[in-house]
Amino acid sequence: MFFEHYKDLSFKKGICVDLPARDLEILVESLNKLFLMLVTMDIKTTIKLNNSSKIPILGLGTWELTGKNAEQSVLWALEAGYRHIDTASIYGNEKEVGSAIKKSKVPREEIFVTTKLWNSDHKNPEKALESSLQKLGMGYVDLYLIHWPAKQRNETWKKLEQFLKDGKCKSIGVSNFTIKHLTELMKTAKIMPAVNQVEFSPFLYQKELLEFCKSKGIGLEAYSPLTRGRKLGDLELAAVATKNKKSPAQIILRWALQKDIVIIPKSRSRERILENADIFDFRLSEGDMKVLDELNEDYRTCWNPNEID
Ligand SMILES: NC(=O)c1ccc[n+]([C@@H]2O[C@H](COP(=O)([O-])OP(=O)(O)OC[C@H]3O[C@@H](n4cnc5c(N)ncnc54)[C@H](OP(=O)(O)O)[C@@H]3O)[C@@H](O)[C@H]2O)c1
Answer yes or no: are the C-beta atoms of 69 and 93 closer than 8 Å.
no
Query: pLDDT of 30-74, one tens digit each?
Result: 776 666 666 579 999 999 999 999 999 999 999 999 999 999 999
Which among 6, 82, 91, 299 is annotated as catalytic? 91
Record the pTM.
0.91
30 burial (CB, 10 Å; 0-12 / 13-18 / 19+) is exposed
Rounded distance between C-alpha atoms, residue 60 and residue 96, angstroms: 14
Rounded distance between C-alpha atoms, residue 290 and residue 277, angstroms: 23
Decide: 73 in ligand 1 pocket, CB within 6 A. Answer: no
Is 6 a catalytic site residue? Answer: no
Atom 5, ligand 1: residue with shortest CA distance: 223
Instruction: Specify the 3-state DSSP secondary structure of 172.
Output: strand
The DSSP bridge partners found for residue 198 are: 222
Reply yes or no on whether the pLDDT at 22 is more than 50. Answer: yes
Decide: 275 in ligand 1 pocket, CB within 6 A. Answer: yes
Name the residue of 84, 112, 200, 224 whose CB sits within 8 Å of the most ligand 1 atoms, as the mutation to test its pocket. Answer: 224
Widest pairwise Cα distance in the chain: 74
- The domain limits of the chain are 1-39, 45-307
Answer yes or no: are the C-beta atoms of 104 and 77 closer than 8 Å.
no
- Kindly report which listed range (9-13, 42-46, 180-184) carries the lowest average pLDDT score: 9-13
Pick the CATH number of 45-307 from 2.60.120.10, 3.20.20.100, 3.30.479.30, 3.40.190.10: 3.20.20.100
Atom 35, ligand 1: residue with shortest CA distance: 229
| φ, ψ (nearest 5 deg) of residue 78 | -65, -35
